[in-house]
Amino acid sequence: MNALLSVSDKTGIVEFAQALHALGIKLLSTGGTAKLLQEAGLPVTEVAEVTQFPEMLDGRVKTLHPKVHGGLLARRELPAHMAALKEHGIDTIDLLVVNLYPFEATVAKAGCTLADAIENIDIGGPAMVRSAAKNWKDVGVITSADQYEAVLAELKAGGKLSDKLRFALSVAAFNRIAQYDGAISDYLSSVSFEAEKLSETYVPQRALFPGQSNGIFTKVQDLRYGENSHQQAALYRDLYPAPGSLVTGVQLQGKELSYNNIADADAAWECVKSFDAAACVIVKHANPCGVAVGLDALSAYNKAFQTDPTSAFGGIIALNRTLDGAAAAQISKQFVEVLMAPDFTPEALEIFKSKANVRLLKIALPARGGQTDWERGRNAMDAKRIGSGLLLQTADNHELALTELKVVTKKQPTLEEMEDLLFAWKVAKYVKSNAIVFCKGGMTMGVGAGQMSRLDSARIASIKAQHAGLTLQGTAVASDAFFPFRDGLDVVVDAGATCVIQPGGSMRDQEVIDAADERGVAMVFSGVRHFRH
């Protein structure tokens, strides 16, 4: 058996080659990989010796040769193929180990030049991978170090790879080629050609939306059904998921997550991640029905639950602090579908053991201080499928700075009111439009969501508060978009609000400002809208 090894990422390659050699497999290799294996004392034949043709053009041409691709593509069961190999002195290659030039990592670096990007487009590697993957019945193709263990296990057990493993390796290889080509296409179709700027040091400007979008997602699992029982569904994740994102979580117990569980859990997790203080978010049907900050997980949960105990039944709960025994004991008194936290104490896990159907998800929070959306655990782009098309937009990752706020009324908000306004504004971002959110003391007091009329959202928020036995007197209100008329302001002030935050930007802003002055409330313009459909 002959194995050809040519890798850019050399993680584990020496140990893998040593194991192959111990099994009596002849090693072929190229360039830096061959040198590394030789330094490790392994007998390696360089591909140039096999092809009788030296590597040339700075290594651009080394494996593009009939003695390589003939050895990979020949079908062993066809006498004519094997006769052709014998006639031309070509040995079969039964195992190919290749990972590609690091194109994705190269273009992800700040200041990557066009020359560097182009030079990291692998040619020989993908060609060999495709040849081996096409001939999967006879050749095992390994494209990732995490496949080494399974390959060695079968070789040690039976001296060859099973059809099942070879086919799985072939599928993984073609997937990798698709990912690689997609990344190259995304990069190049985002670059504007400017001939006068071309040089070895030229760092091109890249369009936010490339000429072709090649989203790559890998399947995590099939789901029982989709949004409704007559629909089918599966969960996919980004090829490189952001740290702290929902798909990086580990389910500790409970039934399989459903389509709706995952959608609601994501809404809750994205919202709770946005708070620095201990926070709890309860979501029902994609909308927060209770959000609060507190001294710890227990106090945050108790406040969030007060907003709308009825809707919280069967909801999704997210915490940005470790769930301890005290908080677990309180939360376990209600029916909850999914409970998420960065960690769970042994006491908390013990409490939920008796509630086997509750899905517990442990998700590490992204590190604070990340410079990019990805490092902060956030999507850089949002997508929405439409009929035979796709809408792409940059994600709504705007973080409101105090310098952006503009007090437009005679009355100035107090420090306490300003804190409540900022809290309400943060929550409103995660509420479906039209959104009206009443808050006070670091908790939601009433949430109105998803109505065609902003007036109806305001009235629903007030009704929700009444049902929960909460008073809206002295509350702060956030509206995700501007009040087009004064009637919306009058409704929230009639309910008890003393201050309001809204984007502003209406033709009738002055009318609404005058109404706020007339009613004696403070109003702040954010200058930013947070529609969420």
In angstroms, the CA 35 to CA 291 distance is 59
- Residue 138 CA, chain-centre distance (Å), reads 37
Report helix angle 66-73 to 124-134, nearest 10. 30
Check if the beta carbon of residue 249 is closer than 8 Å to that of residue 360.
no
What burial letters (b/e) apply to 99-118, b meaning 16+ CB within 10 Å? Answer: bbbebbebbeeeebbbebbe
81 is an active site residue = no
- Exactly one of 10, 26, 81, 134 is catalytic; which is it? 134
In angstroms, the CA 236 to CA 223 distance is 11
Let me know the angle formed at the C-alpha of 242 by 173 and 121, rounded to the nearest 5 degrees.
Answer: 40
Does a cis peptide bond (omega within 30 degrees of 0) precede residue 2?
A: no
* Long-range contact set of residues 347-353: C-beta below 8 Å, sequence gap at least 24: 348/323, 348/324, 349/252, 349/253, 350/325, 351/325, 352/253, 352/328, 353/253
Beta strand 315-319 with 278-284 is antiparallel
Token readout for 212 is 């072709």
Amino acid at 257: L
In angstroms, the CA 383 to CA 385 distance is 7
- Exactly one of 26, 81, 255, 285 is catalytic; which is it? 285
How far the first Cα of the chain sits from its last, in Å, is 58
285 is an active site residue = yes
Check if the beta carbon of residue 281 is closer than 8 Å to that of residue 442.
no
Helix (H, G, I), strand (E, B) or coil at 476: strand
Alpha carbon separation from 247 to 146, 216, 275 (Å, rounded): 20, 15, 20
Alpha carbon separation from 93 to 24, 193, 314 (Å, rounded): 14, 41, 58
Spell out the residues 6+ positions from residue 151 whose beta carbon is closer than 8 angstroms to its own: 95, 140, 142, 161, 165, 169
In angstroms, the CA 531 to CA 533 distance is 6
Q: Which of 214, 213, 212, 193 is nearest to 202 (CA)?
A: 193
Mark out the alpha helices in 360-434 (DSSP H runs): 415-428
Active site residues: 134, 285
